[in-house]
Structure 1
Amino acid sequence: MFEYDITLSFAGEQRAEVEQIADCLIAAGAKVFYDKYSKAELWGKDLYQHLSAVYQKKARYCMVFISKEYAEKAWTSHELKAAQARAFAEKGAEYILPVRFDDTEVAGVLPTTGFLDFRSEGAAGICAAALEKLGKATVPHRIPSPTAAAQGPFSCDSSPRALILSKELNVTIFPLVAESTWSDQIELSIEPEDKETDAVLTKMRGQKRGMLVAYGLDVAEVELESAVRSTVRGEALWKLQFRAKRSDFRNDMEMGTSGTTAEQFAEMRVRRLLLNEFLPQRNDQGGNHIGFLNNLMQENLIQGTNPIMAVEKSLFPDLFRQLGSSPQPFLESAWISAVVGLKLSSAIEHIDYLKLALSGELLHVKFRGYRHRRYSNVEPYKIEVSGQLRLAE
């Protein structure tokens, strides 16, 4: 008896499409191994050995999503080799079920093997065929057409990406993390998605100071201790080691006014960061110096007292201009950037949840977090935000 009916092997660039198939299969009662829905299972495991067992022994079928990106990555190659070992041991069995996103040839998958083409079948067609293979019911719910899927909605409530910033190089990158260890010593294993990321990591080798790293809900100012680049079957794998210098960004010097507390100013800061609200007021007061000074004081209090990161506007629209053509990578990069902004601006100490959903050019945001506790006998101030932001005018 297998633990899973189907396990899915794919490149991150096709996650949005594969997730539609995973949701469809699960809704029909299939047991599916899909990494995003198996976070607790994967937490703390030796992923190299665990995934080898999953793709070789624990499923009835392995659905392989072939693409240019799939052929280029080390982790997908590892998954495929494990699946091929199973297929070789069960000669004649139909274990590997290939699905094509493009015409890339992948070593070990013969061109004579029967496959389905996502370009013509879509998520619904792939799901229906898989359910027929499993002997289960037909598709239980409608899957959006490829055109609708391209518009969204896409969603993100955590990010597989890190944020690495170098002040000396004046550059920020959002690489996918294969493995992470976070304490006073921070270690990240990274597979660059493109040559540009690989080149930036190479330049960072000489930049020991003025660096910031974030992954998950952790953010730290760091010093780079080592950056080791290895090559596996022609693909780069970086192992970065940092020493954390600072990870507590609370600010006990924040002030309020007679009508607005420091906590309320921090809430304005959060809404500015996430929804582009409470933007700086124009200082053209027509000679009204008191109005000018009041606006200036309010702006200083919204930004906080000497913040590490001053929030002048939401970072989402600029990031959308850079990455909006790739909705899921945009959301993943926006998510980790928001975590950094919330903490470095001293607005939030603990994040309960942060959920982003993209539909066309409209970003939906849900957030709850807590300020740092000021007094031991008073609960920390809670900030909740729910709203939407239009990313392009």
Structure 2
Amino acid sequence: MNQPPLSDSTSNQPLQNTLQQNAESSTLGGGIQGTQGNNNIQIQGSENQVNNINLTLVLNEKTIEQTKNSEQPIITESGLVIESSGSWVLLQGYFFQTETVRQHQDGTLTVMIPSESSQDDATIQSLRPDRWGQSQLTTFAYRNDGFLVKVEEIEAESRRDSYIWKLTLKPANIEYGGSTFEMSYQERDQTYSADDIANLRGRRILLNDPPKQVIDAKFYRPASANNQMLETLIRGINTPIQVENCVLQPLYSVYKDRPKLFLELARLMAIFSLKAGDVVEQVLELALGPIEQASVHVRFRGRRRKKYVNVEPSIIEIEGDCPLE
């Protein structure tokens, strides 16, 4: 029996008294914005600064109960290292377990998702293009790849008392991993190349290092101008999404009692953010774990986009421990 998909769009009631009691407003990594207290998370960005994205990841009480009551055994945190997200897929802020994912010659994707509940059916149907055939850009991540897509078509086949959903996705025409016009930056005696800034952006996504710095134009001070400029570059200029905070920390508060599931889902979210945040074009390796003393070890290696014919693309490597609480 498959793990029930983590989706439920029929009820957007906030999750009460399950996460942190203080509903502190927070901004999560990769442009994922929300409030930890009610557990509503938004992903915001733009496609070539033209089409706005406003996608919502809703983790409600039923989602948590499905996770806790699944047949997946509880696995202790000690020694657990995840290098694959298995059959999980991230789509418009929801996590599903897939039957197959097929990439066609024209770049479109066919995703087969089994469903055994009316909540799953309603969630998938909500992704349909509108009556004019238009659909908004949405997040997608599977295995070692992630990007922005549009849902072109949704079909369903009934099998006994359940559905098998077939989704056709078209990737947006976006180049990831750095543009030719990326900026370098010099402050005082230190110079940051475009690759250095991409490395800092990746470290924020995976390690919360450097953490988000507040930019307040109302209280401009010459002494802080350099820090504000560097912060702006780390967040990203003309990138598909803004990178503001670590993506691992908020998921841990929800799935800390299921470390294997947490690592698999966090890995998908991280891969999407690393790609759409223009850190790398290709993820070569991403291993999460083990979790020890409320920190998770991270090992990452990825290749940036090749900008010049005679220059090999840079490799970004990041390793360290990310605090989860």
TM-score by length of 2: 0.68
SS of the equivalent of 2:81 reads strand
SS of the equivalent of 2:123 reads helix
Superposition deviation, residue 379 in structure 1: 2.1
Report the counterpart of residue 224 of structure 1 in structure 2.
151
What does 1:146-185 correspond to in 2, within 5 Å?
149-159=75-85, 160-165=87-92, 172-183=93-104, 184-185=107-108
Report the counterpart of residue 256 of structure 1 in structure 2.
184
TM-superposition CA deviations, 1:337-382 (whole Å, max 9, x none): 1111011111111211111114253211101112112322222111
1:236 matches 2:198: no
1:191 matches 2:114: yes
Structure 2 residues without counterparts, runs of 5 or longer: 5-65
- Superposition CA RMSD, Å: 2.9
Larger radius of gyration: 1
Question: Given the superposition, is the C-alpha separation of residues 233 and 263 from structure 1 closer, same or farther in structure 2, using an over 3 Å criterion?
Answer: same
Do the aligned residues in 2 keep the contact of 1:176 with 1:193 (CA within 8 Å)? no
Do the aligned residues in 1 keep the contact of 2:305 with 2:313 (CA within 8 Å)? yes
Do the aligned residues in 1 keep the contact of 2:78 with 2:291 (CA within 8 Å)? yes
TM-superposition CA deviations, 1:116-137 (whole Å, max 9, x none): xx9xxxxxxxxxxxxxxxxxxx
Identity %: 27
Using the alignment, how far apart are the partners of 1:197 and 1:152 within structure 2? 33
Instruction: In structure 2, give the amino acid aligned to 1:197.
Output: D
Q: Which has the higher strand share?
A: 2
Report the counterpart of residue 278 of structure 1 in structure 2.
210
Instruction: In structure 2, give the amino acid aligned to 1:186.
Output: L
Superposition deviation, residue 194 in structure 1: 5.7
Using the alignment, how far apart are the partners of 2:207 and 2:117 within structure 1? 31
Do the aligned residues in 2 keep the contact of 1:175 with 1:192 (CA within 8 Å)? no
Do the aligned residues in 1 keep the contact of 2:116 with 2:161 (CA within 8 Å)? no
Question: Given the superposition, is the C-alpha separation of residues 275 and 289 from structure 1 closer, same or farther in structure 2, using an over 3 Å criterion?
Answer: same
Choose which of 362, 374, 393 in structure 1 pairs with 2:307: 374
Superposition deviation, residue 311 in structure 1: 1.0
Report the counterpart of residue 36 of structure 1 in structure 2.
none
The alignment covers a number of residue pairs equal to 248
Report the counterpart of residue 318 of structure 1 in structure 2.
250
Superposition deviation, residue 301 in structure 1: 1.3
TM-score by length of 1: 0.57
What does 1:60-139 correspond to in 2, within 5 Å?
none
Do the aligned residues in 1 keep the contact of 2:236 with 2:243 (CA within 8 Å)? no
Question: Given the superposition, is the C-alpha separation of residues 293 and 176 from structure 1 closer, same or farther in structure 2, using an over 3 Å criterion?
Answer: same
Q: Which has the higher contact order (CA 8 A, sep 6+)?
A: 2
Using the alignment, how far apart are the partners of 1:164 and 1:372 within structure 2? 24
Report the counterpart of residue 32 of structure 2 in structure 1.
none
Using the alignment, how far apart are the partners of 2:295 and 2:119 within structure 1? 29
Report the counterpart of residue 168 of structure 1 in structure 2.
none
Do the aligned residues in 2 keep the contact of 1:283 with 1:295 (CA within 8 Å)? no
Structure 1 residues without counterparts, runs of 5 or longer: 1-9, 14-68, 74-100, 103-117, 119-145, 166-171
Instruction: In structure 2, give the amino acid aligned to 1:205.
Output: R
Do the aligned residues in 1 keep the contact of 2:281 with 2:305 (CA within 8 Å)? yes
Instruction: In structure 1, give the amino acid aligned to 2:230.
Output: Q
Q: Which has the higher helix share?
A: 1
